[in-house]
């Protein structure tokens, strides 16, 4: 009887653990190494102007890889330059009274990768995502929360797309920076972006 009770408790704990992992995954958390874990670029510095949530999430993603993100530009072999995030909203549909029924949200951020001598390694990439959502003036707070969540989802998709493109870099070519040869494996980049329908990448 005691053994049966212990087995029941163990099964219950396992189910609780699995539920917690599912919740964490849904909130955007990633286990170490689950996204770009084998990315191994030279020491990298992230440069941006002002506060940028994309930068924060990108840094977290890079921390889960073999790439070291340094705090001093002088210690970096590669520099990622990140532009400002742009969040826009436009009306999609209105009712007969002119009240908004549906909005389209647009998220855009750009980044580029250079070596320490400012030579381009990865040309400027514009990551752009769109989402639409129904709006109701009767539940404004809930709709504001939904809008904020959609922007978070688009930002997360943009970070994942950026990570795939960094991962597609030809590491051997990056190690030979300074030559006239391309340091980008274009075929790998095209393949890396092919599975993403959430974020459009515009060179």
Among residues 196, 104, 189, 116, the alpha carbon closest in space to that of 159 is found at: 196
Please, what sign has the CA dihedral across residues 179, 180, 183, 185? negative
The reported pLDDT for the residue numbered 76 is 97
Can you tell me whether residue 125 is helix, strand or coil?
strand
Between CA 198 and CA 1 the distance in angstroms is: 52
Among residues 173, 198, 200, 175, the alpha carbon closest in space to that of 188 is found at: 173
Q: Compute CA distances 15 → 8, 30, 53, whole Å.
A: 11, 19, 33
The reported pLDDT for the residue numbered 13 is 54
| Residue-level pLDDT, tens digit, the chain, 203 residues | 544 444 454 556 545 555 554 444 444 444 333 455 678 899 999 999 777 899 999 999 999 999 999 999 999 999 999 999 999 999 999 999 899 999 999 999 999 999 999 999 999 999 999 999 999 888 889 999 999 999 999 999 999 999 999 998 855 445 555 433 333 333 333 333 434 334 554 44
The reported pLDDT for the residue numbered 18 is 52
Phi, psi dihedral angles at 125 (to 5 degrees): -115, 125
107 strand-pairing partners:
87, 129
Among residues 172, 96, 95, 76, the alpha carbon closest in space to that of 134 is found at: 95
Task: Say if strands 100-115 and 78-82 run parallel, antiparallel, or are unpaired.
Answer: antiparallel
The reported pLDDT for the residue numbered 137 is 82
Task: Say if strands 100-115 and 86-94 run parallel, antiparallel, or are unpaired.
Answer: antiparallel
**28 membership: H or E segment, kind and range:** none
How much is the pTM?
A: 0.68
């Amino acid at each position: 009887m005691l053994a049966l009770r212990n087995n029941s408790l163990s099964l219950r704990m396992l189910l609780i653990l699995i539920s917690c992992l599912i919740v964490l995954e849904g909130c955007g958390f990633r286990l170490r190494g689950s996204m770009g874990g084998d990315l191994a670029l030279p020491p990298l510095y992230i440069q941006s102007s002002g506060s940028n949530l994309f930068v924060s999430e990108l840094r977290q993603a890079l921390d889960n890889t073999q790439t070291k993100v340094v705090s001093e530009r002088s210690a970096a072999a590669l520099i990622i330059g990140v532009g400002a995030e742009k969040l826009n909203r436009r009306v999609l549909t209105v009712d007969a009274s002119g009240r908004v029924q549906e909005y389209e949200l647009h998220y855009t951020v750009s980044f580029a990768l250079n070596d320490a001598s400012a030579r381009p390694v990865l040309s400027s990439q514009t990551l752009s995502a769109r989402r639409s959502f129904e709006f109701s003036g009767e539940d404004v707070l809930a709709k504001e929360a939904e809008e904020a969540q959609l922007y978070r989802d688009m930002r997360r998709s943009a970070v994942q797309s950026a990570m795939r493109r960094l991962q597609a870099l030809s590491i051997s070519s990056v190690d030979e920076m300074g030559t006239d040869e391309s340091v980008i494996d274009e075929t790998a980049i095209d393949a890396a972006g092919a599975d993403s329908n959430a974020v459009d990448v515009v060179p």
